[in-house]
Structure formats: C-alpha cells, structure tokens
Amino acid sequence: MAIEETKIAEIIMMMENVMDDTSIPKNIRKAVTDARDKLKGNDDARVRLSSAIYSIEAISEDINMPMHARTQIWTIFSALETAARSQAD
C-alpha cells in the first residue's frame, strides 16, 4: 500500500469515529459519510481527496455542530488538505 493510501486509510478511520458519534447532528454525519465514500472510490487519489475536501468544507461552519465535533471536522479537513498537498508534489 502506498504512503498516500495509508494516509487516506487513517483519514477514513477518523471519519468513521465522527460517523459513529450520535451526539453529532445527522446532516453532519451524512456529509462525513459522503466524504468517506468519495475517498473509498476508484478515482485518482487527487480526485478523491479533492471531492472529500469539498464535502467536509461544506459543513465545517455548520452552526449546529457541537464544539467537540467541530474540532474533529477541522482535524479531518487538515489531514485531507495535507494529503492533497503531498499529492501535488
């Protein structure tokens, strides 16, 4: 498994932690699920990462998000951007 695929697998695990947290509103868990599904797709890694970033960015400022969830979402967003940046190099 390539290094970028390992990073993607780690990000997917972080996303699954958010998806399993029932204290997080359903619309946010759905967006994270959609982003995870995009990461698991068969497209090029850059395309998968960009699609996931777009999904997460759309919910990152949701006013209904609990503070602990916001921290998790920002962590996921940061990891996605770092992985995408390493793909660009």
Provide the residue-wise pLDDT of the chain in tens; the chain has 89 residues.
466 788 999 999 999 999 999 999 999 999 999 999 999 999 888 899 999 999 999 898 889 899 999 999 999 999 999 998 887 76
C-alpha–C-alpha distance, residues 32 and 87, integer Å: 21
Contact status, residue 65 vs residue 24, Cβ threshold 8 Å: yes
The predicted pLDDT at position 4 comes to: 79
Of 55, 14, 53, nearest to 34 by C-alpha is 55
The predicted pLDDT at position 3 comes to: 66
Residue ranges covered by each domain of the chain: 3-88
Residue 3 burial by CB count (10 A; 0-12/13-18/19+): exposed, middle or buried? exposed
The predicted pLDDT at position 59 comes to: 92
- What is the CATH T-level fold of the domain 3-88, as seen in this structure? de novo design (two linked rop proteins) (1.20.1440)
Sorted by sequence, the CB contacts under 8 Å of residue 34 that are 6+ apart come out as 55
